[in-house]
A = this chain, B = another copy of it.
Amino acid sequence: MSLNKSNRRIRLKSRPDGMPDEGTWELNRAAIRSPDANEILVKVSYVSIDPAMRGWISDQESYLPPVAIGETMRALAIGQVLESQHEAYQTGDFVSGMFGVQEYATLQPDASVAVIDPQLAALTTQLGVLGMPGMTAYFGLLDVGQPKQGETLLVSGAAGAVGALVGQIGRLQGCRVVGVAGGREKCEFLTDVLGFDDAIDYKAEKDLGAALGRACPEGIDIFFDNVGGDLLEATLFHLSHRARVVICGAISQYNCADSVSAQINYIPILYRSARLEGFVVLDYMPRYGEAVEALSGWLSEDLICPHEDVREGIEKFPQTLNALFSGKNFGKLILKLDTAE
């Protein structure tokens, strides 16, 4: 590893109107800055590509401020400390944190920067099952969804990073699990590899409501929604009494021009005494340890399968992010940066 290199980084050039395109991003090269007091220099190995990124580049209220024009794109990543001026970090430590889409990050570590154990699981898995998607699936399903043995759990975006985990954790809780995904290949993967009880290919169904009725004949007790839009609305009419709808995301809506806005007819929630609840995984940060322990236990017993879709090269960031919004990813989407070494 040599510091004679420069730092390649992806910066936000302009805010997209809808799907991000060529004008949205700029691949920029800068000098690698040496850490000042209390700072560390991290060589970034893997960048997590997440649906939340679309929200971060909108000029719209969210749980974090928008990424500014000209700023390096915000991203959760994993890397290795090259140089440390901070007493809690040593050269050679593997760390995860909000390092951004760049090859080298020089920063003062905040609460998000954690030293990780490379023996615990592959680094990519630490961005997936043991990272944000894992935390999201674990707390969203168990805390917000409150699954009970024998209940029917429906998961949208089921072949995605969070959805695949939600379904697998739901199976471990004794739920009957039905996934919704786009395409036969993804659906077969859900039932044949991940052990889902049934899968609905939304691209092949003309009448989503009828498909939901066939797949969930006793009603839906928990709907874990990553997608939003028409599917959410169709689902509301199949909820059972006291159903829980966990709103984890609304990826179908993130690229709507103007602003994120998704209309649903909420009346069935009234008639079914149901609950629709949003959550932000950052609220659970004090309890991440509990989830990591459970998830790494399940991983070591082969009870859950880490499913990752790793692409290579920082210059591929724009198309990799768009793959997420067009449903072209298959598992946890990760960008590997240090490909040349």
B265/A261 in contact, CB under 8 A: yes
B261 and A264 form a contact (CB under 8 A): no
Contacts of A267 in B (CB 8 A): 250, 253, 260-262
CB <8 Å contact, A269 and B273: no
Q: A3 within 8 Å of B by Cβ? A: no
A218 within 8 Å of B by Cβ? no
Task: Tell me the complex Cα distance, A269–B262, Å.
Answer: 11
Cβ A280 vs Cβ B271 within 8 A: yes
Instruction: Please name the residue on chain B nearest to A55 by beta carbon.
Output: B271
Chain B: minimal CB distance from A158 (Å): 19
* Interface presence of A4 (CB below 8 A): no
Size class of A's contact patch? 20 to 34
> Do A283 and B273 have beta carbons less than 8 Å apart?
yes
Contacts of A262 in B (CB 8 A): 265-267
Bound complex: CA A245 to CA B211 (Å): 30
Q: Mark A261-301, 1 if CB is under 8 A from B, else 0.
A: 11111110111111111111001000000000000000000
Q: Give, as a whole number of angstroms, the nearest-CB distance from A219 to chain B.
A: 13
Which residues of B are found within 8 Å of A62, using beta-carbon distances? 271
Q: Is the CB of A270 within 8 A of B263?
A: no
Check: A87 CB closer than 8 A to any chain B CB.
Answer: no
Of B263, B266, B279, B283, the contact of A276 (CB 8 Å cutoff) = B266
Say yes or no for A42: interface residue by CB 8 A criterion: no
Bound together, the chains give a CA A247 to CA B245 distance in angstroms of 15
A57 → B minimal CB distance (Å): 16
Residues on A facing B (Cβ under 8 Å): 61-63, 247-250, 253, 260-267, 269-280, 283
Per CB-CB distance, the 5 closest pairs between chain A and chain B, nearest first, are A270-B278, A263-B263, A275-B277, A269-B278, A276-B276
